[in-house]
Structure 1
Amino acid sequence: MLRYSFEPQRTQRNAEETHNGWFALLCVLCVLCGSNSLGAQPRPVDRAALARFDAYVAKAVKDWNAPGLAIAIVKDDSVVFAKGYGVRELGKADPVDAGTRFAIGSTTKAMTVAALGMLVDEGKLKWDDPVTKYLPDFRLSDPWVTPQITVRDLLTHRTGLGNADLLWAGADYSTAEIIRRVRYLPLAYSPRSQFIYQNIMYAAAGQVVEAVSGMPWEQFLRTRIFAPLGMSATVPLLADLAGQPNVASPHAEIDDTMRVITNRTVDPVKAAGSVWSSVSDMAKWMKFILDSGRVGGNQLLKTATVKEILTPQVVADHEYPTFDAVHAHFFDYGLGWFLQDYAGQAIAMHTGSIDGMCAIIGLIPDKRIGVYVLENADHIELRHALMYQVFDMYLGNTGHDWSAELKKLYDGLTAQARTAQQRAEAQHVTGTHPSLALDRYTGTYHSDAYGDVRVTLNGETLHATFGRAYDGDLTHWQYDTFRANWKNRQSGRGTLVFVPDGTGGVQALRAFGATFTKIKQN
């Protein structure tokens, strides 16, 4: 049986040493960057500066072709700017304002961490407790690894599990069933040796909240976070939005045209990213974190717990192209927060992305500066530009037009992706035919982890279905490879590769990054 090497359990002393080392590194960076901003006071930002910023955002929204956007800025105990731009839905006149609700995506993760932090403060759990202490049925594929996984591991994307989003984004399972099926997925790396972003492990963290507190995760957030902070417009689940006013619609570019699309629910992995909110409410959340867990004189999270949350836990892959653009020197992950440097400052940030919606939160805790951006279009990376533009405005940095610079960067990356796609299409081998009669491809293909793909034949056309998101006709591409034209166009196009068994039948199907074995008919 394969064994995995584990790093020593991280103690509170180690955490403090890491935090102090992080601070020392920033001091060195200030010298290297010629910046004294670490000890200097933030630049005063007056009404004229905010008016210029308002005009800047309005122009940027048009430049990036964003249907709608909202942004809030917090300084100390005050919301100094909160405004909406554009429309909630293309083709309709309803404007976005500071109270418009959007999906906040993975910026939900910090709320799940805060919920666990409250339970830590109450002595009901410890960050380094094994997950099985609270979820006895929790299993990974290696029985030796399972009892070693801690609550901290769930929150830092280092459990050894690779990307498994197909379990919730494509299939149709409950939270409990999604987590049960994780036991059938092979580990992608030795736990605690790498960082692979993981939504399902945050869903498990949400179940820890439920097991320890005795209430559903969504109820815990409503009663312990949203209500005390006065976040009255915020709801924990997409299901809660039915009939609610002032809600943005998701958009995506399909066939080179920005179109309204349907919401993809994140509720099955709710603790990873299901919250909907407005920038007005998220400004209250930012003030809460910047004030070290206090609101209205009440300490909802201990200062030491907030410090631990914002302390680097693991080196993260700098998957954001903006990392190099802003010349950051390090990129780590805390508990529910990405941590990096910018202009000699320690930055805590996180993005949120789900079909047709995206978000970003950025904090400079030492200066008590926060910015939150919500957009109703898929991966409009203006969010990054506005975050850095706000930081520059307060730090007194000049010389960057982050909207223009990052638009050029992302336009270039988009062009590269299109070229790569064209090259892939050019590899198409023409003049081939399926090796079998079409009816030989039909049947049910099974994966213990993901479930079943069903392939049927309608006349001369094969048809495939999987979960709630994938349903469409197949057209022959080359050899035993077929292209899927999914009815839900936001799912894009799929490729299904059938594997013949050498005896006139098919033994397996490769699709969605997984292998499904054909179930033999009796």
Structure 2
Amino acid sequence: MKIKLFTFLFAFTISLTVIAQSAKKQVKSLDDYIENALTVWNPPGLAVTVVKDGEIVFTKGYGERTLGEGNHVNEHTLFGCMSTTKAFTAAAIAILIDEGKLNWDDHVINYLPDFQLYDPYMTRELTVKDLLTHRSGIGNTDYLWSWMKISGDSALYKMRDVKPSYSLRSSFIYQNLMYLAAGKVIEKVSEQSWGSFLKNRIYIPLGMNETFAKYEMVKDKENKADAHFPYQGEIVKIDQLVADEIGPAGSMWSSINDIGKWVKFLLNNGIHHGDTLISNKNFKELFKPQQIIPTNEFYPTQKLTKPNWMTYGLGWFQHDYRGKMVQFHTGSLPGMVAIVGLIPEENIGVYVMGNLDHVELRHAIMYTVFDLFLDGEITRDWSTEFNKLYANNTKPGDPKRILETSASLPIIKLLGTYKHKQYGNIEIIKTEQGIRFNLNNTVKGTLSHWHYDTYNITFDLKPYGKAMLTFRMNAEANAGYLEIFGERFEYIKLKE
């Protein structure tokens, strides 16, 4: 009996040694691959963690927090999580459902009686689950928070003036403010702030001591990555766009050391060190497909990964990859990116953080990690393929310019304030810098004539680039309104 036991233990030890050596070899090949890919994409800084079979097998920072300053990224450097925050918000809802304080199909109006939508039917029938699945039918309203200095509550109030693009639950359309509303439900039910609830029920139990609900809590910390943007052939540091007013949709900050604990928890079905933080029933609900995603609403990566189906769960994008179900989500703000990806049935998880605007190396690393642990080696150069894909996936250029045209009125006659019920005021003023554009004292730029009554705006904030603005005259051939971003701003007075 002792001989058999010794033989078993010896074989088991050898097996563990082989597995450990294999994992070490795989991690080394991943590290080498990332180092090489960094020379192609050139982000100032990057951080990566990988979880396999219940263990964090790789955590590393690369590059600098601020380009050219030599302040190296390490595993404790703080990056923005952006929309990967949404999974935390959905998990918080699941915890409250476990406690019997609400249900997925409860009507939002029962908890937020002041939350009104344009369509009374939508107001009445919108459910908690609808808030988390981007199926409200209301189009992008990010201008309400990113281009206006208003509170999250004020942005939600303005939703009553937004006409829906689709009927309720008929189509997928990405909606950040619905996650803000979900956060308000959490606050109403739990009687504490959304951030406090996450800290008490997720961060602290998981030992996530370097994770924060809002930028306000990290802005003065030294070991924090700065946002960067490619501008006129160079990479430049830019001011951080703050998403605190829509916190539940994307305001979290964390380190790669901490976020690995979250990925490990997700792959362990909501259990941490034997403690069940989310019941099996509601944990599974987070990852069930809830809404089909049309091709035009998905990532360009689909051109190469070729999924057969694409869906959205509760804070998770989903698609098939090599016969496996992938759960993932990106996060983006100007100058900052993140991605989290899971193949739960294979116990594979990866999280990537970076500080360069839309550096899609994040996708390449995710699929490389999947391949590495599915095949035992890196079998495809996703970095090179995605780099070519995104280089060719450029935005349409400026509309064709008609030369030798003039405006209906001199620009001096068009100075003044233009008002929009939802998006606030635009001022067109004359300064020493030229003709200036000012949206809510938040977004500013300089106008130059393009053709006829259309003007080109070069924004002061580099990430915003340029936009076209067209003036329209009234029946008396005076300033009537202007059009920008597909919206109409009515002229209300001359700017003195």
Q: What is the TM-score with the length of structure 2 in the denominator?
A: 0.92
* Equivalent residue number for residue 452 of structure 1: 425
Residue 6 of structure 1: aligned partner: none
Residue aligned with 1:253, SS: strand
Moved more, 177-186 or 46-55: 46-55
> Is 1:368 matched up with 2:368?
no
Q: Does the Cα contact within 8 Å between 1:485 and 1:494 map onto a contact in 2?
A: yes
SS in 1 for 2:407: coil
Matched residue SS, 1:144: helix
Amino acid at match of 2:224: V
1:391 and 2:370 are equivalent in the alignment: yes
1:82 aligns to what?
59
Following superposition, the deviation at residue 76 of structure 1 comes to 2.6
CA distance in 2, matches of 1:49, 1:127: 41
1:6-85 equivalences under 5 Å are: 45-85=22-62
**1:280 Cα shift?**
1.1
CA distance in 1, matches of 2:244, 2:22: 40
- CA deviations on 1:144-193 (whole Å, 9 max, x unpaired) are 22111111111110101001111111111100000000111111011111
**Cα distance between partner residues in 2 of 1:399 and 1:229:** 34
Contact 1:83 1:97 in 2 (8 A): yes
Deviations 1:109-153 (A, max 9, x none): 000001111111111111111110110011111122211111111
CA distance in 2, matches of 1:150, 1:171: 27
User: Residues 499 and 509 of structure 1 are in contact (CA less than 8 Å); yes or no, is this contact kept in structure 2?
Assistant: yes
Q: Indicate the residue corresponding to 2:124 in structure 1.
A: 147
Q: What SS class does the counterpart of residue 314 from structure 2 fall into?
A: coil
State how far apart, in whole Å, the 2-side matches of 1:313 and 1:334 are.
5
Q: Give the counterpart of 2:187 among 210, 214, 226.
A: 210
Unaligned runs of at least 5 residues, structure 2: 1-18
The alpha-carbon distance between structure 1 residues 386 and 431, as it changes in their structure 2 partners (threshold 3 A), is: same
Distance in 2, Cα, partners of 1:277 & 1:235: 6
Q: Does 1:186 align with 2:183?
A: no
**Structure 1 gap segments, 5+ residues each:** 1-41
How much does 1:520 deviate? 5.1
Distance in 1, matches of 2:203 and 2:450, equals 51
Matches within 5 A, 1:192-341: 192-318=169-295, 319-341=298-320
Residue 77 of structure 1 and its aligned partner are, at CA, apart by 2.4
Kindly indicate whether residue 145 of structure 2 is the aligned counterpart of residue 163 of structure 1: no
Aligned-partner Cα distance in 2 for 1:298–1:322: 37
> How many residue pairs are counted as aligned between the two chains?
474
Residues 131 and 149 of structure 1 are in contact (CA less than 8 Å); yes or no, is this contact kept in structure 2? yes
1:107 is displaced (CA, Å) by 0.2
Contact 1:360 1:374 (8 Å CA) reproduced: yes
CA-CA distance at 1:460 after TM superposition: 9.6
Instruction: Tell me how far apart the structure 1 counterparts of residues 170 and 480 of structure 2 sit (CA, whole Å).
Output: 35
TM-aligned CA distance change 1:188 to 1:104, over 3 Å: same
Distance (whole Å) between structure 1 residues aligned to residue 45 and residue 167 of structure 2: 42
Amino acid aligned to 1:61: L
Q: Identical aligned pairs, as a percentage? A: 41
- Is 1:401 paired with 2:378? no
Q: Which of 460, 470, 474 is the matching residue for 1:501? A: 474
Q: Secondary structure at the match of 2:121?
A: coil
Shift of 1:521: 7.1
Kept after mapping to 2: 8 A contact 1:157/1:197: yes
Q: Secondary structure at the match of 2:120?
A: coil
User: In 2, distance between residues paired with 1:402 and 1:480?
Assistant: 45
Aligned to 1:134: 111
Give the deviation of 1:408 after TM superposition. 2.0
How far has the Cα of 1:459 moved from its partner? 6.8
- Is the 8 Å Cα contact of residues 417 and 494 (structure 2) preserved in structure 1? no
* Cα distance in 2 between the residues matched to 1:437 and 1:349: 52
Contact 2:372 2:379 in 1 (8 A): no
- Give the distance between the partners of 2:441 and 2:227, measured in 1 at CA: 18
In 2, Cα distance between equivalents of 1:193 and 1:73: 36
Structure-1-length-normalised TM-score: 0.88
Quote the Cα distance in structure 2 between the aligned partners of 1:334 and 1:192.
Answer: 13
Determine the C-alpha separation between the residues in 2 that align with 1:167 and 1:43: 51
Given residue 344 of structure 1, which amino acid in structure 2 is its aligned partner?
G
Indicate yes or no: 2:384 matched with 1:411. Answer: no
Corresponding position: 1:483 with 2:456:
yes
Corresponding residue SS for 1:277: strand
1:109 equivalent in structure 2: 86
Structure 1 residue 203 displacement after superposition? 0.9
SS at match of 1:348: strand
Aligned equivalent of 2:332: 353
| Residues 1:433 and 2:374 aligned together | no
Tell me if the contact between 2:131 and 2:178 (Cα under 8 Å) persists in the aligned partners: yes
Determine the C-alpha separation between the residues in 2 that align with 1:181 and 1:510: 20
Match of 1:467 in 2: 440
Contact 2:415 2:494 in 1 (8 A): no
Aligned equivalent of 1:123, options 100, 104, 128? 100
The 1:45–1:383 alpha-carbon spacing in structure 2 relative to 1, beyond 3 Å, is farther
Corresponding residue SS for 2:393 = helix
DSSP-derived class of the 2:435 partner:
strand
C-alpha distance 330-474 of structure 1, shift in aligned 2 (>3 A): same
